Amino acid sequence: MAGELIKLTAAELAAGIARGELTAVEVTEAHLARIEAVDEKVNAFLHVDREGALAQAREVDAKRERGEKLGPLAGVPLALKDLFTTEGVPTTAGSKILQGWVPPYDATVTKRLKDADVVIIGKTNMDEFAMGSSTENSAYGPTGNPWDLTRIPGGSGGGSAASLAAYEAPLAIGTDTGGSIRQPAAVTGTVGVKPTYGGVSRYGMVAFSSSLDQGGPCARTVLDAALLHSVIAGHDEKDSTSIAQPVPDVVEAARNGEVKGLRVGVVKEFRGEGYQAGVMQRFDESVALLRELGAEVVELSCPSFTKALAAYYLIAPSECSSNLARFDAMRYGMRTGDDGTHSAEEVTALTREAGFGDEVKRRVMLGTYALSSGYYDAYYGSAQKVRTLITRDFEKAFEQVDVVVSPTTPTTAFPIGERADDPVAMYLADLCTIPSNLAGNSAMSIPCGLAPEDGLPVGLQIIAPAMADDRLYRVGAAVEAAYQARWGHPLLEEAPSL
């Protein structure tokens, strides 16, 4: 029974719990047992909150017995990226500098999950401070891709995506600054959504690059992602960049997938050198599928997208060099060298040296460089101008089409270690996802098959204008249904058993 429970979708689990056919406790126990059985190999979790999860599950079961109305995801286990604060539960952001830190408050996302009776089962592994595309930059060891444990699960949210693909949780939360939800979803054969910037509160989400960071849902199906999206999204007065508008009805859209008459844009800059042949083959098949389903496909050019990666790797490090200044060894986190012989400033520098990993150091220095006088206009200032050009390219594109589609990532999952010491090669993993972060619009990745040459999952990216997140779900649900009809089963069924 437990083996079947972990394969159910979040929607199915919630329905079973609401009808009294399942208890939240047995559902939680089944997932805890799965984590116990496979996570030594996968390393998706940094912390498993067994007691907290079971207490939350018991509360859900008690509510049901009392006849109280349950929310649409009540009792469903969820894996939370370790970038969100959780009161009383350790939060590390994948960094040594926060090892052992127990936050005194909940992030807004955490609070909304708890209020919706979602069972937070643990905190997931990630690249340190969400900087990376492989989860190798975690201070706590890499996460394996459940399709092939010697390969990366994407990053920075590799733990969240791997926990879904390994059936350790049916739902997860990620954050997406340059692709950290979508790229892991693509390489693990799962679904990930970067909502419109400002759609989900950043309060209590450890800041990396504040004008780009966005939390969002991860799941194995489009409908599950929509249900989770609707729980966490919406205005929050604790985040001044949170959008004070109603959340688009993503659940209705996910329940009514349709692309007939839809104008779908294919951007010519999203192909060429660096794109794996099997990825492009599955992408082209997806475009053909959209046509078969009644969509009109329009070829587009967005010339400034070729500069998106460069602009991103100036803007994000610049903002991170400022945001990470808070790790000064004074108020929380690690402190090293406080032996009475060093000044406060020296203790800060010694602690940051010991507590930050290489990629964080690189980005902090790169950002410091890009913002320093003499270089500011050439680097940070120019990158901000490129950001304007990319936003304009999207505006022009969305005058002609309803959504844009692309591969989510140029290649399938690469072997752990392959790009670890070559930052520029690593950054290429975000080639197709970054433009949406710079423009602040919404985007999703869904599975679109396996690359013939390596048998690994390929992601289809769907991009919609800001606050049109529902379009992602309408298109995603239609494509998902068509592919599953063609394959006869969800793609994840083809993953080797762990």
Partner 1 sequence: MPGISREEVAHLAKLARLELKDEELDHFAGQLDDIIGAVAAVSEVADDAAVPPTSHPLPLTNVMRQDEVRPSLTPQQALSGAPAREQQRFKVPQILGEE
Cβ closer to partner 1: 369 or 487?
369
Cβ closer to partner 1: 376 or 487?
376
Question: At 462, phi and psi to the nearest 5?
Answer: -120, 130
Cβ closer to partner 1: 62 or 365?
365
Burial of 237 (0-12, 13-18, 19+ CB in 10 A): exposed
CA torsion through residues 126, 120, 220, 203, sign: negative
Sole binder of partner 1 in the list 172, 466, 479, 495 (CB under 8 A): 466
473 makes contact with partner 1 (CB under 8 A): no
Segment lying near partner 1 (by CB under 8 A), choices 127-135, 136-144, 359-367, 478-486: 359-367
Q: Which of 383, 333, 338 is nearest to 355 (CA)?
A: 333
277 makes contact with partner 1 (CB under 8 A): no
Written as one string, the DSSP assignment of 409-434 is SSSSPPBTTSSTT-HHHHHGGGTTTH
Which candidate in 163, 180, 318, 321 is catalytic?
180
Q: Which of 457, 476, 427, 387 is nearest to 194 (CA)?
A: 476
Sole binder of partner 1 in the list 2, 99, 211, 280 (CB under 8 A): 211
In the complex, what is the shortest distance from the CB of residue 393 to partner 1, in angstroms, rounded to a whole number?
Answer: 12
Long-range contacts of 55-63 (CB under 8 A, 24+ apart): 56/24, 56/28, 56/114, 56/117, 56/119, 56/120, 57/23, 57/24, 57/25, 57/27, 57/28, 57/119, 58/24, 58/25, 59/117, 60/17, 60/24, 60/117, 60/119, 61/17, 61/23, 61/24, 61/25, 63/117
Q: Which residues contact 386 (CB under 8 A, 6 or more apart)?
A: 304, 307, 308, 310, 311, 438
Sole binder of partner 1 in the list 280, 349, 482, 498 (CB under 8 A): 349
Instruction: Report 227-246 residues binding partner 1 (CB under 8 A).
Output: 237, 240-241, 243
Residue type, 140: Y
372 makes contact with partner 1 (CB under 8 A): yes
382 makes contact with partner 1 (CB under 8 A): yes
In the complex, what is the shortest distance from the CB of residue 45 to partner 1, in angstroms, rounded to a whole number?
Answer: 22
Residue type, 181: I
Residue 301 annotated as catalytic: no
Residue 156 annotated as catalytic: yes
102 makes contact with partner 1 (CB under 8 A): yes
Of all helices (H) and strands (E), which one includes residue 120? strand 119-124
Q: How far apart are CA 461 and CA 148, in angstroms?
A: 22
Segment lying near partner 1 (by CB under 8 A), choices 17-25, 106-114, 287-295, 324-332: 324-332
Instruction: Report 387-406 residues binding partner 1 (CB under 8 A).
Output: 387-389, 391
Residue 372 annotated as catalytic: no
345 makes contact with partner 1 (CB under 8 A): yes
Instruction: Report 422-441 residues binding partner 1 (CB under 8 A).
Output: 423-424, 427, 438-440
378 makes contact with partner 1 (CB under 8 A): yes
Sole binder of partner 1 in the list 63, 287, 342, 484 (CB under 8 A): 342
Segment lying near partner 1 (by CB under 8 A), choices 172-180, 271-279, 374-382, 477-485: 374-382
347 makes contact with partner 1 (CB under 8 A): yes
Sole binder of partner 1 in the list 280, 384, 454, 487 (CB under 8 A): 384
Instruction: Report 288-307 residues binding partner 1 (CB under 8 A).
Output: 306-307
How many other β-carbons are positioned within 10 Å of the β-carbon of residue 484? 15
Q: Which residues are catalytic?
A: 81, 156, 180
